[in-house]
């Protein structure tokens, strides 16, 4: 389905979904030349951006660079751990995106010259750009956890970048674990990708244990002082389904317990308080903006100093420090949750802003972005959080009234969760209307 960009903005602004704006950077007229736009990363942000920019400004010459041959969804990956879905249910080819862009390059970016506006890949290819869009997600900081070496990573999985070597392996480890064993998992300090994700993971692993290994336990080592997202809903689900708060609780939640070290031989996680032994260990280390952001010199905070995330102009998603470089998704320094929903949503916002800039016009001055995030709480129930942000003076995005969280979990929300996933995958990757999804809510 294709439609006019201005019609999209008018409709979505009225629905509180998407509107964009942007002022900075030099304009390039598409009337006299084909502006070159290079996109690094084909996840929720990068793929959505490429699709919508091509729809709204067909003259733009888009090169999409992505190291992976398939798209694996982080949203829904916890259901694989529960045995509700398989890896193939959340894995998609890039065939439809390849037909949209002018050049698809399966490679890794190794250098970015923002003065000459050239991107270089590991394969030795170079690409000139007028606008560069970085949508690389996150970089995991293994060195912040003592002992989390490359060798240790073969045994201790984070599964925070979904894939067969992470999510798939962790599922196999859980299957091999004896009944009565202990699964130790961690939650990094906020901000991190997908705030409710770790607590949903506890639900999904408990779902599997309740069915297949009822004597097993889950220890949640949370670096935060409390549950970081949807606290009331998760606590209610843990109590209802997994005995939380009783002597027979399957989940042992421990706040203020940041993992400081791991030992893959002794299968031990060390915190400030004690050493915790597990049969299966799942440690998610701290994270920062993707390494490609550092290559472009945009991993800079609002104070202009180097930092873990990238400060942006909310109206265009352009870096506040490097012109003509735009950042999408989890790498940005914003008050948005780092979610697939936000990445998909802002991919459209950035595409609209750049389409205007390429035509010498000012983008919409009233951007609005939304986030909708579902979490599974049992094999057939879920709940959600939804937030609308509107641009305010001083380059701020202000959360609006409305939205909020579910009153309680329900089977209906489980069905909504499945529909949301199918829709966002189709929208991101350009899947056809008759695409046969296999993923279950």
Task: Quote the DSSP letter at residue 123.
Answer: T
Cβ neighbours around 125 below 10 Å, total: 14
Which among 307, 341, 363 is the end of a domain?
Answer: 363
Whole-number pLDDT of residue 366: 87
Give per-residue pLDDT as tens, 257-292. Answer: 999 999 999 999 999 999 999 999 999 999 999 999
* Coil/strand/helix, residue 399: strand
Average pLDDT over residues 210-238: 98
The residues, any chain, with a CB within 8 Å of residue 385's CB and separated by 6 or more, are 196, 229, 230, 371, 372, 373, 403, 404, 405, 406
Both 275 and 177 in one domain: the answer is yes
Q: d(Cα 284, Cα 219) in Å, to the nearest integer? A: 14
pTM of the predicted model as reported, rounded to 2 decimal places: 0.92
Both 226 and 294 in one domain: the answer is no
Q: How confident is the model at residue 151 (pLDDT cuts 50, 70, 90)?
A: very high
Both 39 and 128 in one domain: the answer is yes
Average pLDDT for the chain:
93
Residues forming beta bridges with residue 405, ordered by sequence position:
385
Residue showing tokens 């997908």: 194
Whole-number pLDDT of residue 334: 95
Both 156 and 262 in one domain: the answer is yes
Whole-number pLDDT of residue 18: 34
- Tell whether 77 is covered by a domain: no
Which among 344, 363, 382 is the end of a domain?
Answer: 363
- Tell whether 427 is covered by a domain: no
Give per-residue pLDDT as tens, 160-211. Answer: 999 999 999 999 999 999 999 999 999 999 999 999 999 999 999 999 999 9
Q: Exposed e or buried b for every residue in 27-55, given b needs 16+ CB within 10 A?
A: ebebeeeebbbbbbbbbbbbbbbbbbbbb
Strands across the sheet with 268-270, in order? 261-263, 268-270, 275-277
Tell me whether the omega of the peptide bond preceding residue 245 falls within 30 degrees of 0, making it cis: no
Q: How confident is the model at residue 388 (pLDDT cuts 50, 70, 90)?
A: very high
Both 277 and 329 in one domain: the answer is no
> For residue 128, is pLDDT > 60?
yes
Both 327 and 351 in one domain: the answer is yes
Whole-number pLDDT of residue 186: 98
Give per-residue pLDDT as tens, 54-107. Answer: 999 999 999 999 999 999 999 999 999 999 999 999 999 999 999 999 999 999
Whole-number pLDDT of residue 4: 52
Q: How confident is the model at residue 324 (pLDDT cuts 50, 70, 90)?
A: very high
* pLDDT > 90: percent of the chain: 90
Q: How confident is the model at residue 33 (pLDDT cuts 50, 70, 90)?
A: confident
- Tell whether 314 is covered by a domain: yes
Both 297 and 245 in one domain: the answer is no
> For residue 340, is pLDDT > 70?
yes
CB 100 within 8 A of CB 50: yes
> For residue 134, is pLDDT > 50?
yes
Whole-number pLDDT of residue 441: 75
* Coil/strand/helix, residue 421: helix
Whole-number pLDDT of residue 403: 82
Q: d(Cα 259, Cα 78) in Å, to the nearest integer? A: 21
Whole-number pLDDT of residue 440: 86
Both 149 and 236 in one domain: the answer is yes
Average pLDDT over residues 114-131: 98
Q: How many domains is the chain built from? A: 2
Indicate which CATH number applies to the domain containing 194: 3.50.50.60
> For residue 8, is pLDDT > 50?
no
> For residue 236, is pLDDT > 60?
yes
Q: How confident is the model at residue 21 (pLDDT cuts 50, 70, 90)?
A: very low
Average pLDDT over residues 314-341: 97
What is the domain range of residue 338?
5-15+22-67+107-140+288-363
């Amino acid at each position: 389905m294709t439609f006019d960009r201005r019609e999209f903005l008018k409709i979505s602004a009225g629905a509180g979904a998407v509107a964009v704006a942007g002022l900075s950077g030099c304009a390039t007229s598409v009337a006299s030349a084909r502006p070159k736009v290079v996109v690094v990363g084909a996840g929720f942000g990068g793929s959505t951006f490429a699709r919508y920019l091509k729809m709204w400004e067909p003259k733009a010459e888009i090169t999409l660079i992505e190291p992976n041959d398939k798209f694996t969804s982080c949203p829904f990956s916890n259901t694989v751990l529960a045995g509700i879905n398989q890896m193939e249910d959340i894995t998609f080819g890039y065939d439809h995106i390849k037909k949209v862009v002018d050049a698809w390059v399966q490679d890794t970016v190794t250098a970015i010259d923002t003065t000459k506006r050239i991107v270089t890949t590991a394969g030795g290819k170079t690409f000139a750009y007028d606008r560069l869009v970085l949508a690389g997600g996150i970089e995991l900081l293994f060195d912040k956890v003592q002992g989390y070496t490359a060798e240790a990573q073969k045994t201790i999985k984070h599964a925070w970048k979904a894939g067969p070597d992470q999510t798939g392996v962790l599922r196999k480890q859980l299957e091999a674990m004896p009944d009565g064993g202990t699964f130790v998992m961690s939650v990094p300090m906020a901000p991190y990708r997908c705030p409710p994700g770790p607590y949903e993971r506890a639900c999904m692993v408990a779902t599997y244990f309740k069915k297949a290994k009822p004597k097993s336990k889950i220890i949640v080592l949370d670096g935060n002082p409390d549950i970081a997202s949807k606290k009331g809903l998760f606590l209610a689900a843990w109590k209802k389904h997994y005995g939380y708060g009783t002597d027979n609780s399957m989940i042992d939640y421990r706040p203020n317990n940041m993992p400081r070290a791991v030992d893959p031989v002794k299968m031990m996680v060390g915190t400030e308080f004690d050493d915790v032994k597990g049969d299966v260990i799942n440690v998610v280390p701290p994270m920062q903006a993707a390494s490609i952001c550092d290559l472009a010199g945009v991993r800079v905070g609002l104070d202009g100093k180097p930092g873990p995330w990238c400060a942006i102009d909310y109206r265009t998603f352009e870096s506040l420090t490097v012109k003509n470089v735009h950042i999408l998704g989890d790498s940005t320094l914003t008050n948005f949750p780092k979610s697939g929903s936000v990445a998909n949503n802002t991919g459209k916002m950035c595409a609209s802003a750049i389409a205007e800039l390429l035509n010498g016009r000012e983008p919409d001055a009233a951007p609005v972005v939304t986030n909708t995030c579902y979490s599974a709480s049992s094999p057939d129930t879920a709940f959600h959080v939804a937030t609308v942000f509107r641009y305010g003076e001083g380059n701020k995005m202000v959360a609006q009234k409305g939205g909020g969280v579910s009153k309680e979990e329900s089977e209906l929300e489980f069905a909504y969760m499945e529909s949301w996933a199918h829709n966002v995958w189709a929208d991101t990757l350009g899947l056809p209307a008759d695409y046969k999804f296999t993923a279950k809510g």
